[in-house]
Structure 1
Amino acid sequence: MATPPPTPPPPPPPADFCTVISESRRILKAHSRHFLALSVLFLLPLSFAVTVYPTLHRLLLLLSSSSSNPYHAQALLRRSPLLLNQPPQRQQSGVDAGSVLVSVGYTSFLTLLSIFATCSITHSVVQGFYGRPVKLLSAIKSIGTSFFPLLATLICTQAIISLIAIASGILGFLILKGAELVIGHEISHSSPFFLGLVASIAVVLVLVLAYLQVQWVLANVIVVAESGFGFYPLRRSAYLVKGMRGVALSLTLFFGALSGILVWTITLSTSESAIDGNEWKRWHFVVQIVATTSSLAMLMLLSLAANVVLYMYCKAVHGELAMEIAEEFAREYVSLPFDDEKVPHVVSVTHMLD
């Protein structure tokens, strides 16, 4: 009598938002000390720079004003671009070469740390997903391999976004001038037509950029995992995300909203407090900075891991993951060490499409 074939394991849960977040947390928990080290090296300095920038910006304005004219320090401080209730003319008068250099240096610093964190953490999550050894030295080495491809992809992304923004501005200008030719007089900037036109273009621009963000959500993972760069990761991401756009949109809104709330809260609280150079001696200010920095770093870490897990699910939907696992492990099922006890977490690639 022939022995019946073994019953395959039940199919995994659907690849929805909760599944991606759960799998991401399992991977991070399995190698908690490794990802903690990477967070301390890259994500904590990055989130700290984002958190303290509003306070440092106002403090630098105050110090530069005090050195030249101490009687006008508060007047210059009120011209900070972070204070939204000041007229544009006064904001522009407070801009100098020093502020531009600080802004350029700050932006460059954030860009470098973001690329370092993306390279190392994405590489580590990919290794952990496949059950390979996750080592700190290997993660650091991946920065040298993926840094310039990621930078090239970032430049391509920003170029496309800039062209779209410029095109939307030109379109709005042409519509405005066309309307003025039709009615025969100049349209005031405070008129309902002008305000409605600006609002409409802004809404359309935001929707277009949100759509592109969903389409390109896997681009950085593709750069690290597949060694692509430039426009290729953007096209590849748009292909892989088909069928998973809802999950990608949920992840984008979730992490974007939480990060935005954290940054907005710390910016609002620091803009309403007095800046005198002694902020770090006040315990409530230090606690707020530490809490915001650590929370933002945890969000960044989970976001990077979630993008990798989403990438794997997208490859499974397109029938690519089973082939890779078959080549590497020469069997249909792979046990992924997702937790500290190394209890096998079996992923059935065959049933992932169900």
Structure 2
Amino acid sequence: MSNPSPPPPPSNFDFLAIRSECNRIIKADSRNFHAIIFLLLFPISLPLIFYQVFPIKTLGFNLLYTLTIPILSLFATGSTTYSVSHGFHDRPVKLSSAFKAALTSFFPLLSTWLLAQLITAVLGSILGLAFFSLFKATQVDYSSAYFLLLCLAYVTSLAFIVVYLQVNWIFAYPIVVLESSWGLEPLKRSQALVKGREGVASRIVLFWGFFCWLGTWSSMLRLAVSACDELKIWASFIQIITIPAASYYPLFMCYNLVVNTVFYMNSKALRGEFAGEYASLPSDDDDGKVSPAVSIV
């Protein structure tokens, strides 16, 4: 007698279900994820915290730190994505294997990241030229309310473009690591894979993006405020926000990578790209657990 066919993956895999699955994966392999945080992500936040207490204005230090951020972030992306994919399949992974995957995927990730930054910069520049042409055509005064309104419209439009791109490219880095792709292909593949689930992707991008970049943006804001004598009184207040945000940055960054990978794995399952072999995880019950997630047998 043949075995019954496995049930299809649930279509209601929402943000809460993703978070529940992430917690399961992290708990099952906590040592691995703690090692990734300590070795790859913590060195990013440490100089940021040190800089808030003892500001260093040398160009060499700032340049070195700026280059270190994407390098360590991409290594963390490769190792975390690889670890999550194995945890999603309930297969343990050694830390050495995760770091080997990070080394293998570093240059493909770098090429994809550079291309994404280039596309974003080009679109931002085109938008900036459009607003600058409008400003020149209207010949408004810098101190007028219309100029401030024009600047606000530019910032809002740019933010919308960035969020739109991040939503469509949310699977780009997991695709690079797990599908051996690079350059423009992961961006196009991610845009196709996220169709129909833009709502969940938007919540992930906005929620985790806010926490991940709070420390960095507040640090830049404090630097700008310190340079202006009239605003120096706000420097200490901004520092109160920056130091805790920078301290928790490694945790937020790691969790964001886990969320993106779990979301990617489930989206593939919903499209039937795992040969239909599914196993349901614990479902919603009286204990307050969320709807079932999907794993692969």
Task: Give yes or no for the alignment of 1:163 onto 2:161.
Answer: no
Alpha-carbon deviation of 1:112?
1.1
Question: Partner residue of 2:266?
Answer: 313
Alpha-carbon deviation of 1:25?
1.0
2: CA distance between counterparts of 1:216 and 1:5?
Answer: 39
| TM-score, reference length from structure 2 | 0.81
Question: Partner residue of 1:347?
Answer: 294
Identify the match of residue 23 of structure 2 among 7, 22, 25.
Answer: 25
- Return closer, same or farther for 1:5/1:311 CA change in 2, 3 Å cut-off: closer
Question: Partner residue of 2:152?
Answer: 199
- Deviation by residue 1:134-185 (Cα, 9 ceiling, x = unmatched): 1111111112210100110111011111111111111112212333xxxxxx
- Return closer, same or farther for 1:7/1:178 CA change in 2, 3 Å cut-off: closer
Structure 1: 5+ residue stretches without partners: 62-97, 180-185, 276-284, 327-331, 338-344, 350-354
Structure 2: 5+ residue stretches without partners: 223-232, 283-291
- Return closer, same or farther for 1:45/1:336 CA change in 2, 3 Å cut-off: farther
Where 1:228 maps in the other structure, the secondary structure is coil
Contact 1:51 1:292 in 2 (8 A): no
2: CA distance between counterparts of 1:228 and 1:243?
Answer: 23
Identify the match of residue 190 of structure 1 among 127, 137, 143.
Answer: 143
Question: Partner residue of 1:139?
Answer: 98
Contact 2:8 2:278 in 1 (8 A): no
Report the residue type matching 1:107 in the other structure. Answer: T
Question: Partner residue of 2:161?
Answer: 208
1: CA distance between counterparts of 2:190 and 2:7?
Answer: 30
- Return closer, same or farther for 1:336/1:145 CA change in 2, 3 Å cut-off: farther
- Deviation by residue 1:317-345 (Cα, 9 ceiling, x = unmatched): 32213x2xx6xxxxx334889xxxxxxx9
Alpha-carbon deviation of 1:228?
0.8
- Deviation by residue 1:55-108 (Cα, 9 ceiling, x = unmatched): 34x2x34xxxxxxxxxxxxxxxxxxxxxxxxxxxxxxxxxxxx42x22211111
Where 1:254 maps in the other structure, the secondary structure is helix
2: CA distance between counterparts of 1:270 and 1:52?
Answer: 19
Q: Calculate percent identity across the aligned residue pairs.
A: 40
Kindly report which structure 2 residues correspond to 1:282-293, keeping only aligned pairs within 5 A, or say none. Answer: 292=245
Alpha-carbon deviation of 1:259?
3.2
Alpha-carbon deviation of 1:270?
10
Contact 1:12 1:348 in 2 (8 A): no
Kindly report which structure 2 residues correspond to 1:259-270, keeping only aligned pairs within 5 A, or say none. Answer: 259-261=212-214
- Deviation by residue 1:1-35 (Cα, 9 ceiling, x = unmatched): xx998696796572111011110111010011111
Contact 1:219 1:237 in 2 (8 A): yes
1: CA distance between counterparts of 2:81 and 2:3?
Answer: 38
Question: Partner residue of 2:82?
Answer: 123
Task: Give yes or no for the alignment of 1:272 onto 2:236.
Answer: yes
Contact 1:333 1:348 in 2 (8 A): yes
Report the residue type matching 1:169 in the other structure. Answer: G
Identify the match of residue 114 of structure 1 among 68, 73, 77.
Answer: 73
Instruction: Compare CA radii of gyration and give the structure with the larger one.
Output: 1
Contact 1:16 1:247 in 2 (8 A): yes
1: CA distance between counterparts of 2:38 and 2:26?
Answer: 14
| TM-score, reference length from structure 1 | 0.69
Alpha-carbon deviation of 1:195?
2.1
Task: Give the aligned CA root-mean-square deviation in angstroms.
Answer: 3.2
Alpha-carbon deviation of 1:54?
3.0
Kindly report which structure 2 residues correspond to 1:302-341, keeping only aligned pairs within 5 A, or say none. Answer: 302-321=255-274, 323=275, 332-334=277-279
